[in-house]
Structure 1
Amino acid sequence: MRFLHTMLRVGDLDRSIDFYTNILGMKLLRKSENAEYKYTLAFIGYEDESVGTVLELTYNWGVTSYDLGGAFGHIAIGADNISEVVEKVRSAGGKVTREVGPVKGGTTVIAFVEDPDGYKIELIENKFIGKGLGN
Structure 2
Amino acid sequence: PFLWNARSVVNKRQQLFSFIFSSDYHIVAITETWCCGDMKDREFLPNRYSVFRKDRDSRGGGVFTVLLAFSDSLATRQLNSPDTLKLLAVEVHAPKPIIVCLVYVPPPPSTSYLSLLFDYLASITVNRDLNCPSR
Which of the pair is proportionally richer in strand?
A: 1
Same fold (TM over 0.5): no
Name which structure has the greater RCO, CA cutoff 8 Å, separation 6+: 1
- With structure 2 as the length reference, what TM-score do the two structures score? 0.31
TM-score where L is the length of structure 1 = 0.31
